[in-house]
Structure 1
Amino acid sequence: MMLTDKQAIVYGAAGPIGGAVAKTFAAEGATVHLAGRTAERLERVADEIRRAGGKAETGIVDALDERSVDEHAAAVGRIDISFNLIGHKQYFGTPLVDMPLADVEEPVRNMFRTFYLTSRAAARQMIKQRSGVILTFGGYGDPAANLGAFQAGFGAVEALRRSLARELGPHGVRVITLQTNGIPESNPDTYPEDFRREVAEYTASQTMLNRAATLADVGAVAAFAASDHARSITGTALNLTAGAVVN
């Protein structure tokens, strides 16, 4: 197993992507600390991990709150992997020039804030250990219209990821983005079926492989990125877009 005896925090672990990553980390031998705001949803993921023979702990954490993040990280102690997968409010369908300033600022502020707070909490422990991996999700691809400031938020996180990789590298800490072009599997069941099918077909049509990345794909690449197999990879994005983004 690639992550035997590792301690991993997954923020947003109750969501579909966070849950998939947490389950893969646990299957690869890590003790996974599931962080989020809803105890019941976290416990469902933790129970599934434990039934499969894995190790999971849950913690109520507001990943936008400095004190909440810092206190949880201190309670965990050793941190080998930190992965921020919290969801963000989205303002899709309206041109930027027609949006109120507050709606444009919100995703940029929140995405930057939560990645900074969770990364800082992990990095302070990882510097002492002289090792660790900080992962972020989303990346920054070609511009698309009517996504609000969602892509601007990802751009801000990517700039921070690059700076952190430079500063933390000498301490043995790696910082990596998992870049996707969307994971249709993660769309809530509350969305109309026709809409979910349309999104899945459109996402696949943008790729070279005629398919979108799956939750299992994200989990597998995340486990690889967090493992010693990827010990020479840092300061970059791992491209899971199935060819939708070429670099």
Structure 2
Amino acid sequence: MTLMDGKHAIVYGATGPIGGAVARAFAREGATVHLAGRTAETLDRLAAEIRTAGGKAEVAVVDALDEQSVDRHAAVLDRIDVSFNLIGHKQYFGTPLVDMSLADVEEPVRNMLRTFYLTSRAAARRMIQQRSGVILTFGGYGDPAANLGGFQVGFGAVEALRRSLARELGPHGIRVVTLQTNGIPESNPDTYPEDFRREVAERTAAQTMLNRAATLADVAAAATFAASDRAAAFTGTALNLTAGAVVN
């Protein structure tokens, strides 16, 4: 028996590098994966790949920052066992906070909190009826780093919301868990210069105890475990995938 037999899992941002890795892993473990994103063509390609490999996938064009879009999609599903928001966010890296505009600092904080709240609320309302479910979030919050703009602040806001949701939803049998990373260099777009991508990978690995960064495969494996009944006692916490960059 696979880890997620019979479960229905929504992956928002499913066609990104991390979302795609998680969606494929969920499908391999027996889940019906509901691929949610903004572009039908790329969603259809991923769904075809999953189905060819013997998995089950459904496609929906969803704007995970839009309240009505998120709620409409959740309302048509028979059940929601897992919700994982992995949409990408615009990044303003390389500038000190004191040199940034208020709008640029606010944007990632507002958008990260907004999309996690909307997708979590939509899932939780269905999960409360079922008396079970898992809401996953990604990124976590470690030691502060310089020149990340509002990006790390946004992760901190999401973590605060995750803690509150775990407290409120626990009595309904719903778990809320973060997959905490120190960055996944493998997920950096090919559009970034090769030298930059290599530098990021080397710097990320150097910060760890294991001299390696977490990979997409690491994230996918942790996500399937966290979403499965084997992690039934895990909630209100983060699974540390930083390879020792963050010490708990």
TM-score by length of 2: 0.99
The Cα offsets for residues 98-123 of structure 1, whole Å up to 9 and x where unpaired, read as 00000011000000000000000000
Query: Aligned partners of 2:164 and 2:212: how far apart in 1?
Result: 33
Other structure's SS at 1:22 match:
helix
Provide the residue aligned with 1:165 in structure 2.
166
What is the deviation of 1:234?
0.1
SS at the partner of 2:238? Answer: strand
Q: Map 1:195-206 onto structure 2 (within 5 A).
A: 195-206=196-207
Per the TM alignment, residue 198 of structure 1 is displaced from its structure 2 partner at its CA by 0.9
Spell out, residue by residue over 1:41-88, the C-alpha distance to the aligned partner (whole angstroms, 9 max, x if none): 111211111111000011000000000000000112300000000000
Question: What corresponds to 2:60 in structure 1?
Answer: 59
Distance 1:44 1:207 in 2: 35
Range 117-126 or range 195-204, more displaced? 195-204
In the TM superposition, what are the counterparts of 1:107-186 in structure 2 within 5 Å? Answer: 107-186=108-187
Aligned partner of 1:49: which letter? Answer: I
1:194 positional shift: 1.0
**Cα distance in structure 2, aligned partners of 1:177 and 1:96:** 26
**Which runs of no fewer than 5 residues in structure 2 stay unpaired?**
none
Cα separation, 2, equivalents of 1:47 and 1:214: 24
Comparing 6-15 and 41-50, the one that deviates more = 41-50
The Cα shift of 1:138 comes to 0.3
Q: Conserved in 2, the CA contact under 8 Å of 1:77 and 1:125?
A: no
Q: Residues 18-61 of structure 1: CA distance to partner in whole angstroms, max 9, x if unpaired? A: 00000000000000000000111111211111111000011000
Structure 1 counterpart of 2:63, which letter? D
TM-score when scaled to structure 1? 0.99
Specify every segment of 5 or more residues in structure 1 that has no aligned partner in the other structure, as ranges.
none
Superposed CA deviations along residues 192-221 of structure 1, whole A, max 9, x for unmatched, are 111111111111000000000000100000
Asked if the contact 1:179–1:238 (Cα under 8 Å) also holds between the matched residues in 2, the reply is yes
CA–CA distance in 2 between the matches of 1:13 and 1:127? Answer: 24
| Aligned-partner Cα distance in 1 for 2:201–2:48 | 29
User: What is the CA RMSD across the aligned residues, in angstroms?
Assistant: 0.5
